[in-house]
Amino acid sequence: MAPPDAAFRLDCHVHTRHSKDARGSVLDLAVAAQAAGLGGFCLTDHDTVAGHAHIREAQEKTGLLIVPAIEVTSAEGHILALGVREDVPRGLGYLETREHVEDQGGVAVPAHPLRSFSGMGPRALHHHTDEGQILAVEAVNARERRLVQQNTRKLVSELGVSPLGGSDAHWVHDVGAAYTVLDDAPGSVDDVLDAIRRGACRAEGTPLRRLSVLGHTASLWAGPLRRRFIDRQEARRP
Ligand SMILES: [Zn+2]
Ligand SMILES: [Zn+2]
C-alpha cells in the first residue's frame, strides 16, 4: 500500500475570476493548489469555459493536472461537468445536461446536493441514481457546515456512487479545503474520469472557516452597495 503522503489529491470544485462571483486567475489557483499539496484540480467556473484557455500555461508552470470542467446551472441544481471543453447549456433538466456532458466524454456530478436552491436534493438524487443515471456525487463541499457535510456523506454512501470532494473555492486561499483522493495517481484527464467512474476515489475535507464564507459573501455585496451609495450621493447634488 502506498504511504499516505503519496496519495493523489484532486480538488474537484474550484472557481476563478471567470466566475463572476470569484477572484484569482487560473495560474493563481494552480500556485495555491500546489502549495496546498494537491496533485491537481477541476476548473469549474459557473457556466463558462472562458478560463480553459489558461489551463496549459498553469499546468506548465506548476506541473499540476488541471481537469477542464464547468459548474452548470441546471434546472435540477448545480452539476459539475467534469472533462468538458465546450459550454453546456444552462437551465436544462439533469438528464439533458448529463447527455451534453457525456457527448463531450465527461462525467456529470451533482454538486452540494443538500444546499437549498442550488442542490439537487435527496429525492431527485435517489430517483436518478435508481435509474442508473448518476455515477458520482459531491459528498464533501468545504463551503457547507459540518452537519450538512455529515448528512451529505451519509446520503452518498447510501446511494453507493463515487464520493467526490471539492473546496468550492471562490478565493485563492480556500483551494484544497476539501478534495478527492484517487487510489492511483492519474497521468491524464481521462485517467481521472475513469477513476471517478470506477469509484476508485474517496472524499476528504473540512468546512471552511465561516469567516471565509461570510467574507466572500460580504465582498459580493460590498461592490453594488458602494455603487448605490455613490449614486445616491450624486443624485442629491444640485
Ligand atoms: Zn454551486
Ligand atoms: Zn461552485
Residues 221 and 103 in one domain: no
Q: Report CA-CA distances (Å) from 82 to 35, 38, 50.
A: 23, 17, 15
State which residues have CB under 5 angstroms from ligand 1, the bound ion. 78, 111
φ, ψ (nearest 5 deg) of residue 143 = -85, -5
- Cα(2) to centroid(ligand 1), Å: 33
Residues 218 and 125 in one domain: no
Residue 33 has pLDDT above 90, yes or no: yes
Q: What is the mean pLDDT of residues 112-139?
A: 97
Alpha carbon distance 146, 190 (integer Å) = 32
- Cα(234) to centroid(ligand 2), Å: 36
Ligand (nearest to CA of 174): 2
Residues 191 and 232 in one domain: no
Collect all residues with Cβ–Cβ distance below 8 Å to 119 and sequence separation of at least 6: 77, 78, 110, 111, 112, 113
Cell of 231: 449614486
Per the listing, cell 484527464 goes with 189
Q: What is the mean pLDDT of residues 131-139?
A: 98
- pTM for the whole structure: 0.89
pLDDT interval class at 3 (50, 70, 90): very low
Ligand (nearest to CA of 78): 1
- Cα(19) to centroid(ligand 2), Å: 9
Cell of 65: 493536472
Lowest mean pLDDT among 26-40, 130-144, 209-223: 209-223
Alpha carbon distance 40, 232 (integer Å) = 46
Residues 79 and 167 in one domain: yes
Q: Which domain, by its residues, includes 229?
A: 210-238
Residues 195 and 172 in one domain: yes
Q: Report CA-CA distances (Å) from 79 to 34, 138, 222, 238.
A: 25, 9, 28, 50
Instruction: Count the domains in the chain.
Output: 2
Residue 219 has pLDDT above 90, yes or no: no
Residues 107 and 225 in one domain: no
pLDDT interval class at 234 (50, 70, 90): low
pLDDT interval class at 228 (50, 70, 90): low
pLDDT interval class at 20 (50, 70, 90): confident
Ligand (nearest to CA of 166): 2
pLDDT interval class at 7 (50, 70, 90): confident
- Cα(20) to centroid(ligand 2), Å: 11
- Cα(6) to centroid(ligand 2), Å: 27
Residues 105 and 70 in one domain: yes
Neighbouring C-beta atoms of residue 158, cutoff 10 Å: 12
* DSSP calls for 63-110: --EEEEEEEEEETTEEEEEET--S---SS--HHHHHHHHHHTT-EEEE
CATH code at 161? 3.20.20.140
- Cα(55) to centroid(ligand 1), Å: 21
Give the model confidence (pLDDT) of 196-218 as tens digits. Answer: 999 999 999 989 876 666 666 66
Rg (CA), the chain: 18
Q: What is the mean pLDDT of residues 155-178?
A: 96
pLDDT interval class at 231 (50, 70, 90): low
